[in-house]
Amino acid sequence: MLWSLLFLQLILFLNHHHPLQITMAAPDPGELLPEILLRASRHPQLAPPETHVERMCRESLSLSSRGSYCSEWRWSGDGSESPKQQGLSRSDSLEGFLCPPLPGQVPVEPTETSTGRTAQGAVEASPVNKSSTESFESFYNVEKMIGSGGYGKVFLGTRKFDGKKVAIKRMRKIDNDLYLNIPGNPELLVTEVALLMMMRRESISPFVIQLYQWFEEPRGFTLVMEYPEPCERLLDSITRDPWNDRFSQVVMRQAVQAVQHCIHHGVFHNDIHSQNFLLKKDTLELKLIDFGCGQLFSSEGYESNIYRGVPDYCPPEVLTEPRFHAVPANVWSLGVLMYEVSNGCLPFLNTTEILQAKVTFENRNFSKYCRDLIGQCLSRDPTKRPSLEQMLQHQWFDRDLH
Protein backbone atom coordinates (compact mmCIF):
# COMPACT_ATOMS: atom_id res chain seq x y z
CA MET A 1 0.00 0.00 0.00
CA LEU A 2 2.81 2.38 0.89
CA TRP A 3 4.56 1.71 -2.42
CA SER A 4 1.30 2.41 -4.29
CA LEU A 5 0.90 5.79 -2.60
CA LEU A 6 4.52 6.73 -3.35
CA PHE A 7 4.09 5.72 -6.99
CA LEU A 8 0.88 7.81 -7.28
CA GLN A 9 2.63 10.87 -5.79
CA LEU A 10 5.48 10.44 -8.27
CA ILE A 11 3.02 10.38 -11.21
CA LEU A 12 1.26 13.53 -9.95
CA PHE A 13 4.61 15.28 -9.47
CA LEU A 14 5.77 14.46 -13.00
CA ASN A 15 2.46 15.54 -14.49
CA HIS A 16 2.66 18.87 -12.66
CA HIS A 17 6.16 19.70 -13.91
CA HIS A 18 6.03 17.98 -17.30
CA PRO A 19 2.51 18.15 -18.71
CA LEU A 20 1.44 15.20 -20.77
CA GLN A 21 0.77 15.62 -24.45
CA ILE A 22 -2.07 13.70 -26.01
CA THR A 23 -1.74 13.39 -29.76
CA MET A 24 -4.90 12.43 -31.60
CA ALA A 25 -4.87 10.69 -34.95
CA ALA A 26 -6.25 12.84 -37.74
CA PRO A 27 -9.41 11.95 -39.67
CA ASP A 28 -9.98 12.73 -43.29
CA PRO A 29 -8.50 16.18 -44.29
CA GLY A 30 -10.99 19.04 -44.06
CA GLU A 31 -13.18 17.39 -41.37
CA LEU A 32 -11.43 17.77 -38.01
CA LEU A 33 -9.77 21.18 -38.23
CA PRO A 34 -12.83 23.19 -39.29
CA GLU A 35 -14.82 21.54 -36.50
CA ILE A 36 -12.16 22.41 -33.93
CA LEU A 37 -12.03 26.03 -35.08
CA LEU A 38 -15.83 26.29 -35.13
CA ARG A 39 -16.21 24.87 -31.63
CA ALA A 40 -13.46 27.01 -30.17
CA SER A 41 -14.83 30.21 -31.69
CA ARG A 42 -18.54 29.62 -31.02
CA HIS A 43 -18.42 27.64 -27.79
CA PRO A 44 -15.82 28.94 -25.32
CA GLN A 45 -16.88 26.22 -22.89
CA LEU A 46 -15.41 23.66 -25.28
CA ALA A 47 -11.93 25.15 -24.96
CA PRO A 48 -9.23 22.92 -23.37
CA PRO A 49 -10.12 21.83 -19.81
CA GLU A 50 -8.51 22.98 -16.59
CA THR A 51 -5.71 20.44 -16.48
CA HIS A 52 -2.02 20.39 -17.15
CA VAL A 53 -2.67 18.31 -20.24
CA GLU A 54 -2.08 20.02 -23.58
CA ARG A 55 -4.49 18.53 -26.08
CA MET A 56 -3.37 18.60 -29.65
CA CYS A 57 -5.16 17.74 -32.86
CA ARG A 58 -3.14 17.21 -35.99
CA GLU A 59 -4.12 16.71 -39.56
CA SER A 60 -1.99 16.14 -42.61
CA LEU A 61 -3.07 18.09 -45.65
CA SER A 62 -2.03 16.75 -49.01
CA LEU A 63 -1.69 19.87 -51.11
CA SER A 64 -1.28 18.72 -54.73
CA SER A 65 2.46 18.69 -55.49
CA ARG A 66 3.49 21.02 -52.68
CA GLY A 67 4.17 18.25 -50.18
CA SER A 68 2.70 17.43 -46.81
CA TYR A 69 1.79 20.07 -44.26
CA CYS A 70 0.69 19.65 -40.68
CA SER A 71 -1.63 21.94 -38.74
CA GLU A 72 -2.20 21.96 -35.00
CA TRP A 73 -4.62 23.67 -32.65
CA ARG A 74 -3.47 24.05 -29.10
CA TRP A 75 -3.98 25.94 -25.87
CA SER A 76 -1.55 28.84 -25.77
CA GLY A 77 -0.55 28.33 -22.14
CA ASP A 78 2.94 27.14 -21.23
CA GLY A 79 1.76 24.19 -19.16
CA SER A 80 2.35 25.80 -15.78
CA GLU A 81 -1.21 26.93 -15.23
CA SER A 82 -4.64 26.12 -16.52
CA PRO A 83 -6.64 28.84 -18.31
CA LYS A 84 -8.72 29.81 -15.30
CA GLN A 85 -5.75 29.69 -12.96
CA GLN A 86 -3.93 32.26 -15.05
CA GLY A 87 -4.66 35.71 -13.73
CA LEU A 88 -3.45 39.28 -13.93
CA SER A 89 -0.67 40.32 -11.63
CA ARG A 90 -0.96 43.61 -9.80
CA SER A 91 1.32 45.23 -12.35
CA ASP A 92 -0.89 44.11 -15.26
CA SER A 93 -3.67 46.26 -16.66
CA LEU A 94 -6.70 45.11 -18.65
CA GLU A 95 -5.21 46.82 -21.70
CA GLY A 96 -1.98 44.93 -21.23
CA PHE A 97 -3.83 41.65 -20.90
CA LEU A 98 -5.88 42.17 -24.05
CA CYS A 99 -2.82 43.23 -26.03
CA PRO A 100 0.50 42.76 -24.21
CA PRO A 101 2.81 45.78 -24.40
CA LEU A 102 5.75 45.75 -26.74
CA PRO A 103 9.13 44.80 -25.30
CA GLY A 104 10.89 47.90 -24.03
CA GLN A 105 7.68 49.63 -22.94
CA VAL A 106 6.72 47.39 -20.00
CA PRO A 107 8.77 44.36 -18.87
CA VAL A 108 7.53 41.09 -20.34
CA GLU A 109 7.19 38.16 -17.97
CA PRO A 110 9.05 35.91 -17.61
CA THR A 111 11.99 37.04 -19.74
CA GLU A 112 14.10 34.03 -18.87
CA THR A 113 11.71 31.72 -20.77
CA SER A 114 11.34 33.94 -23.84
CA THR A 115 12.85 32.84 -27.14
CA GLY A 116 13.54 35.07 -30.11
CA ARG A 117 13.10 33.67 -33.60
CA THR A 118 13.97 35.03 -36.99
CA ALA A 119 12.32 34.35 -40.34
CA GLN A 120 14.38 32.56 -42.95
CA GLY A 121 16.21 35.10 -45.04
CA ALA A 122 15.56 37.92 -42.59
CA VAL A 123 18.14 40.60 -42.04
CA GLU A 124 20.77 40.32 -39.30
CA ALA A 125 19.44 37.54 -37.08
CA SER A 126 19.41 38.12 -33.34
CA PRO A 127 21.88 36.26 -31.10
CA VAL A 128 20.23 32.92 -30.43
CA ASN A 129 21.36 32.78 -26.81
CA LYS A 130 19.50 35.95 -25.80
CA SER A 131 15.88 36.45 -24.80
CA SER A 132 13.37 37.92 -27.25
CA THR A 133 13.10 41.10 -25.16
CA GLU A 134 16.85 41.72 -25.33
CA SER A 135 16.97 40.85 -29.02
CA PHE A 136 14.05 43.08 -29.91
CA GLU A 137 15.36 46.05 -27.96
CA SER A 138 18.80 45.69 -29.48
CA PHE A 139 17.40 46.01 -32.99
CA TYR A 140 14.33 48.27 -32.91
CA ASN A 141 12.85 51.45 -31.48
CA VAL A 142 9.07 51.55 -31.08
CA GLU A 143 7.23 54.73 -32.10
CA LYS A 144 3.55 55.62 -32.48
CA MET A 145 0.68 53.18 -32.88
CA ILE A 146 -0.60 53.14 -36.48
CA GLY A 147 -3.31 50.48 -36.28
CA SER A 148 -5.31 48.25 -33.95
CA GLY A 149 -8.01 45.62 -34.09
CA GLY A 150 -9.01 42.19 -32.90
CA TYR A 151 -5.59 40.89 -33.98
CA GLY A 152 -3.71 43.26 -31.65
CA LYS A 153 -1.85 46.48 -32.44
CA VAL A 154 0.57 47.76 -35.07
CA PHE A 155 3.29 50.29 -34.28
CA LEU A 156 5.62 52.28 -36.45
CA GLY A 157 9.20 51.41 -35.59
CA THR A 158 12.79 52.09 -36.59
CA ARG A 159 15.57 49.58 -37.14
CA LYS A 160 18.50 50.91 -35.15
CA PHE A 161 21.46 50.02 -37.32
CA ASP A 162 20.24 51.80 -40.46
CA GLY A 163 17.19 53.89 -39.44
CA LYS A 164 14.85 51.94 -41.72
CA LYS A 165 11.15 52.33 -40.92
CA VAL A 166 9.34 49.08 -40.09
CA ALA A 167 5.85 48.03 -39.03
CA ILE A 168 5.74 46.19 -35.69
CA LYS A 169 2.70 44.00 -35.18
CA ARG A 170 1.95 42.79 -31.66
CA MET A 171 -0.44 39.84 -31.31
CA ARG A 172 -1.70 38.21 -28.14
CA LYS A 173 -1.72 34.42 -27.88
CA ILE A 174 -5.25 33.03 -27.72
CA ASP A 175 -6.61 29.62 -26.86
CA ASN A 176 -7.65 28.70 -30.41
CA ASP A 177 -4.48 29.79 -32.22
CA LEU A 178 -3.78 27.60 -35.23
CA TYR A 179 -0.20 26.41 -35.66
CA LEU A 180 1.20 25.14 -38.96
CA ASN A 181 4.16 22.93 -39.78
CA ILE A 182 5.54 24.06 -43.12
CA PRO A 183 8.19 22.33 -45.27
CA GLY A 184 11.75 23.26 -44.39
CA ASN A 185 10.92 24.37 -40.86
CA PRO A 186 11.18 21.89 -37.96
CA GLU A 187 8.88 23.73 -35.56
CA LEU A 188 5.17 24.50 -35.52
CA LEU A 189 4.52 28.17 -36.30
CA VAL A 190 1.50 30.34 -35.59
CA THR A 191 -0.54 30.84 -38.78
CA GLU A 192 0.46 34.36 -39.78
CA VAL A 193 4.16 33.71 -39.24
CA ALA A 194 4.02 30.41 -41.12
CA LEU A 195 2.22 31.88 -44.14
CA LEU A 196 4.45 34.96 -44.32
CA MET A 197 7.51 32.72 -44.21
CA MET A 198 6.09 30.72 -47.10
CA MET A 199 5.65 33.99 -49.01
CA ARG A 200 9.36 34.75 -48.52
CA ARG A 201 10.39 31.81 -50.66
CA GLU A 202 11.56 32.46 -54.20
CA SER A 203 10.38 34.34 -55.95
CA ILE A 204 9.39 37.17 -53.61
CA SER A 205 6.48 39.32 -54.81
CA PRO A 206 6.66 43.13 -54.69
CA PHE A 207 2.89 43.13 -54.09
CA VAL A 208 2.94 41.24 -50.78
CA ILE A 209 4.17 42.65 -47.46
CA GLN A 210 7.44 41.07 -46.29
CA LEU A 211 8.22 39.65 -42.86
CA TYR A 212 11.69 40.68 -41.66
CA GLN A 213 11.83 39.12 -38.20
CA TRP A 214 9.60 37.71 -35.49
CA PHE A 215 9.74 37.11 -31.75
CA GLU A 216 7.73 34.88 -29.44
CA GLU A 217 7.05 35.87 -25.83
CA PRO A 218 5.13 33.95 -23.18
CA ARG A 219 1.87 35.71 -23.97
CA GLY A 220 2.21 36.95 -27.51
CA PHE A 221 4.09 37.38 -30.77
CA THR A 222 5.89 40.38 -32.25
CA LEU A 223 6.22 40.55 -36.03
CA VAL A 224 8.58 43.04 -37.68
CA MET A 225 7.51 43.74 -41.23
CA GLU A 226 8.13 45.93 -44.22
CA TYR A 227 6.64 49.44 -43.99
CA PRO A 228 6.04 51.06 -47.39
CA GLU A 229 6.42 54.80 -46.94
CA PRO A 230 4.40 56.94 -47.46
CA CYS A 231 1.38 54.67 -47.48
CA GLU A 232 -2.28 54.42 -46.53
CA ARG A 233 -5.02 51.82 -46.55
CA LEU A 234 -6.51 51.35 -49.99
CA LEU A 235 -9.95 51.97 -48.49
CA ASP A 236 -8.89 55.44 -47.33
CA SER A 237 -7.78 56.38 -50.83
CA ILE A 238 -10.98 55.04 -52.38
CA THR A 239 -13.28 56.96 -50.06
CA ARG A 240 -11.31 60.23 -50.25
CA ASP A 241 -10.57 60.71 -53.96
CA PRO A 242 -12.47 59.80 -57.13
CA TRP A 243 -10.68 57.22 -59.26
CA ASN A 244 -10.53 56.97 -63.03
CA ASP A 245 -10.19 53.91 -65.26
CA ARG A 246 -6.40 54.18 -65.45
CA PHE A 247 -5.80 54.31 -61.68
CA SER A 248 -8.19 51.42 -61.11
CA GLN A 249 -6.45 49.32 -63.74
CA VAL A 250 -3.00 49.92 -62.21
CA VAL A 251 -4.16 49.04 -58.70
CA MET A 252 -6.29 46.03 -59.63
CA ARG A 253 -3.55 44.45 -61.74
CA GLN A 254 -1.31 44.46 -58.65
CA ALA A 255 -4.10 43.09 -56.45
CA VAL A 256 -4.70 40.15 -58.80
CA GLN A 257 -0.97 39.46 -59.03
CA ALA A 258 -0.66 39.52 -55.24
CA VAL A 259 -3.42 36.92 -54.85
CA GLN A 260 -1.98 34.86 -57.69
CA HIS A 261 1.42 34.87 -55.96
CA CYS A 262 -0.19 33.60 -52.74
CA ILE A 263 -1.79 30.65 -54.53
CA HIS A 264 1.47 29.80 -56.31
CA HIS A 265 3.18 29.68 -52.90
CA GLY A 266 0.56 27.40 -51.36
CA VAL A 267 -1.24 30.14 -49.42
CA PHE A 268 -4.96 31.01 -49.39
CA HIS A 269 -5.24 34.52 -47.90
CA ASN A 270 -8.96 34.16 -47.12
CA ASP A 271 -9.53 37.84 -46.28
CA ILE A 272 -9.16 39.95 -49.43
CA HIS A 273 -10.70 43.41 -49.02
CA SER A 274 -9.77 47.08 -49.34
CA GLN A 275 -8.49 47.42 -45.77
CA ASN A 276 -5.96 44.64 -46.29
CA PHE A 277 -4.06 46.46 -49.00
CA LEU A 278 -1.59 49.28 -48.42
CA LEU A 279 -1.14 51.84 -51.20
CA LYS A 280 2.03 53.90 -51.62
CA LYS A 281 0.76 57.40 -52.28
CA ASP A 282 3.59 58.52 -54.55
CA THR A 283 3.91 55.45 -56.79
CA LEU A 284 0.53 53.66 -56.53
CA GLU A 285 2.36 50.49 -55.51
CA LEU A 286 0.13 48.01 -53.68
CA LYS A 287 0.96 45.64 -50.81
CA LEU A 288 -1.25 42.81 -49.53
CA ILE A 289 -1.16 42.56 -45.71
CA ASP A 290 -2.68 40.64 -42.77
CA PHE A 291 -2.40 36.88 -43.27
CA GLY A 292 -3.93 36.04 -39.89
CA CYS A 293 -7.10 34.57 -41.41
CA GLY A 294 -5.22 32.57 -44.03
CA GLN A 295 -5.07 28.85 -44.72
CA LEU A 296 -2.71 26.50 -46.50
CA PHE A 297 -3.93 26.14 -50.06
CA SER A 298 -5.88 22.94 -50.69
CA SER A 299 -7.21 21.84 -54.06
CA GLU A 300 -9.91 19.94 -52.15
CA GLY A 301 -11.50 23.17 -50.90
CA TYR A 302 -12.67 24.12 -47.40
CA GLU A 303 -15.69 23.69 -45.17
CA SER A 304 -17.82 26.82 -45.49
CA ASN A 305 -17.94 27.28 -41.72
CA ILE A 306 -14.23 28.16 -41.62
CA TYR A 307 -14.57 31.16 -43.96
CA ARG A 308 -12.79 34.01 -42.16
CA GLY A 309 -13.21 36.96 -44.53
CA VAL A 310 -15.33 40.06 -43.96
CA PRO A 311 -19.07 39.59 -44.67
CA ASP A 312 -19.19 42.26 -47.42
CA TYR A 313 -16.75 40.24 -49.54
CA CYS A 314 -18.19 36.80 -48.78
CA PRO A 315 -18.80 34.68 -51.92
CA PRO A 316 -22.35 33.31 -52.26
CA GLU A 317 -21.27 29.65 -52.23
CA VAL A 318 -20.05 30.08 -48.64
CA LEU A 319 -23.64 30.97 -47.70
CA THR A 320 -25.35 28.22 -49.68
CA GLU A 321 -22.93 25.31 -50.10
CA PRO A 322 -21.08 23.07 -47.59
CA ARG A 323 -17.71 23.69 -49.25
CA PHE A 324 -15.96 26.43 -51.18
CA HIS A 325 -12.68 26.68 -53.11
CA ALA A 326 -9.86 29.16 -52.78
CA VAL A 327 -9.48 30.50 -56.33
CA PRO A 328 -13.20 31.16 -57.10
CA ALA A 329 -13.57 32.74 -53.65
CA ASN A 330 -10.56 34.96 -54.32
CA VAL A 331 -11.92 35.95 -57.72
CA TRP A 332 -15.27 36.93 -56.15
CA SER A 333 -13.48 39.06 -53.53
CA LEU A 334 -11.37 40.71 -56.24
CA GLY A 335 -14.58 41.45 -58.16
CA VAL A 336 -16.03 43.17 -55.08
CA LEU A 337 -12.77 45.09 -54.64
CA MET A 338 -12.75 46.11 -58.31
CA TYR A 339 -16.32 47.37 -57.98
CA GLU A 340 -15.41 49.32 -54.83
CA VAL A 341 -12.34 50.87 -56.48
CA SER A 342 -14.38 51.85 -59.55
CA ASN A 343 -17.54 53.09 -57.81
CA GLY A 344 -16.42 54.21 -54.36
CA CYS A 345 -18.94 51.90 -52.66
CA LEU A 346 -19.69 48.21 -52.24
CA PRO A 347 -21.91 46.27 -54.67
CA PHE A 348 -23.83 44.43 -51.93
CA LEU A 349 -24.99 45.61 -48.50
CA ASN A 350 -26.13 42.32 -46.94
CA THR A 351 -26.31 38.56 -47.51
CA THR A 352 -29.66 38.82 -49.29
CA GLU A 353 -28.12 41.13 -51.89
CA ILE A 354 -25.08 38.88 -52.21
CA LEU A 355 -27.40 36.00 -53.10
CA GLN A 356 -29.98 37.83 -55.21
CA ALA A 357 -29.25 41.46 -56.16
CA LYS A 358 -28.33 42.52 -59.66
CA VAL A 359 -25.02 44.36 -59.97
CA THR A 360 -25.58 48.01 -60.88
CA PHE A 361 -22.88 50.60 -61.48
CA GLU A 362 -22.84 53.98 -59.75
CA ASN A 363 -20.02 55.34 -61.90
CA ARG A 364 -20.84 55.18 -65.61
CA ASN A 365 -17.55 56.83 -66.56
CA PHE A 366 -15.70 53.53 -66.37
CA SER A 367 -15.21 51.56 -69.56
CA LYS A 368 -17.46 48.73 -70.68
CA TYR A 369 -14.44 46.44 -70.34
CA CYS A 370 -14.14 47.25 -66.66
CA ARG A 371 -17.84 46.60 -66.08
CA ASP A 372 -17.64 43.34 -68.06
CA LEU A 373 -14.79 41.97 -65.94
CA ILE A 374 -16.58 42.91 -62.71
CA GLY A 375 -19.69 41.12 -63.95
CA GLN A 376 -17.70 37.96 -64.72
CA CYS A 377 -16.00 37.94 -61.31
CA LEU A 378 -19.33 38.41 -59.53
CA SER A 379 -21.01 35.45 -61.18
CA ARG A 380 -22.91 33.55 -58.48
CA ASP A 381 -21.86 30.28 -60.07
CA PRO A 382 -18.20 29.80 -59.00
CA THR A 383 -17.53 27.54 -62.00
CA LYS A 384 -18.33 30.43 -64.37
CA ARG A 385 -15.91 32.91 -62.83
CA PRO A 386 -12.60 33.51 -64.61
CA SER A 387 -9.36 32.18 -63.17
CA LEU A 388 -6.74 34.63 -61.91
CA GLU A 389 -4.78 34.14 -65.13
CA GLN A 390 -7.91 34.81 -67.21
CA MET A 391 -8.53 38.00 -65.24
CA LEU A 392 -5.09 39.32 -66.20
CA GLN A 393 -5.74 38.39 -69.84
CA HIS A 394 -9.03 40.28 -69.96
CA GLN A 395 -9.36 43.17 -72.41
CA TRP A 396 -9.53 45.70 -69.60
CA PHE A 397 -5.98 44.87 -68.50
CA ASP A 398 -4.78 44.52 -72.09
CA ARG A 399 -5.97 47.97 -73.17
CA ASP A 400 -3.55 50.90 -73.17
CA LEU A 401 -5.26 53.60 -71.08
CA HIS A 402 -2.50 56.22 -71.27
Nearest-angstrom CA–CA distance, 161 and 118: 17
Point out the residues of the chain with pLDDT beneath 70.
Answer: 1-134, 242, 400-402
Q: Could you tell me whether strands 152-159 and 165-172 are parallel, antiparallel, or unpaired per DSSP bridges? A: antiparallel
Phi, psi (5° rounding) for residue 65? -95, 10
The predicted structure's pLDDT at residue 396: 95
What is the end-to-end Cα distance of the chain in Å, rounded? 91
The predicted structure's pLDDT at residue 243: 81
> Which residues does 100 contact at the CB level (< 8 Å), separation at least 6?
108, 170, 172, 217, 219, 220
CATH assignment, 95-174+186-226: 3.30.200.20
The fold of the 231-398 domain, in CATH, is Transferase(Phosphotransferase); domain 1 (1.10.510)
Partner residues linked to 58 by β-bridges: 72
CA distances from 388 to 105, 139, 233, 254, 394 (A): 44, 39, 23, 12, 10
Helix (H) or strand (E) holding 324: strand 323-324
Nearest-angstrom CA–CA distance, 206 and 188: 27
The predicted structure's pLDDT at residue 56: 30
Nearest-angstrom CA–CA distance, 60 and 55: 17
Verify whether residue 271 is a known catalytic residue: yes
CA angle 262, 264, 267 (to 5 degrees): 40
The predicted structure's pLDDT at residue 313: 97
The predicted structure's pLDDT at residue 177: 84
267 closest CA partner among 310, 309, 296: 296
Q: How long, in residues, is the chain?
A: 402
> Which residues does 62 contact at the CB level (< 8 Å), separation at least 6?
29, 68
Domain boundaries, the chain: 95-174+186-226, 231-398
The predicted structure's pLDDT at residue 364: 80
The predicted structure's pLDDT at residue 176: 81
Are the C-beta atoms of residues 359 and 374 closer than 8 Å to each other?
Answer: yes
3-state secondary structure of 221: strand
The predicted structure's pLDDT at residue 194: 95
Report DSSP state, residue 208.
Answer: B
Nearest-angstrom CA–CA distance, 169 and 278: 15
The predicted structure's pLDDT at residue 191: 93
The predicted structure's pLDDT at residue 401: 54
The predicted structure's pLDDT at residue 226: 95
CA angle 308, 310, 315 (to 5 degrees): 80
> Which residues does 313 contact at the CB level (< 8 Å), separation at least 6?
272, 273, 332, 333, 336, 337
Please identify which of the residues 162, 241, 271, 312 carries the catalytic annotation.
271
> Which residues does 294 contact at the CB level (< 8 Å), separation at least 6?
191, 192, 195, 262, 267, 268, 269, 270, 271
Residue-wise pLDDT for 337-366, tens only, equals 999 999 999 999 999 999 999 999 988 888
Nearest-angstrom CA–CA distance, 59 and 128: 31
- pTM of the predicted model over 0.85: no
The predicted structure's pLDDT at residue 104: 34
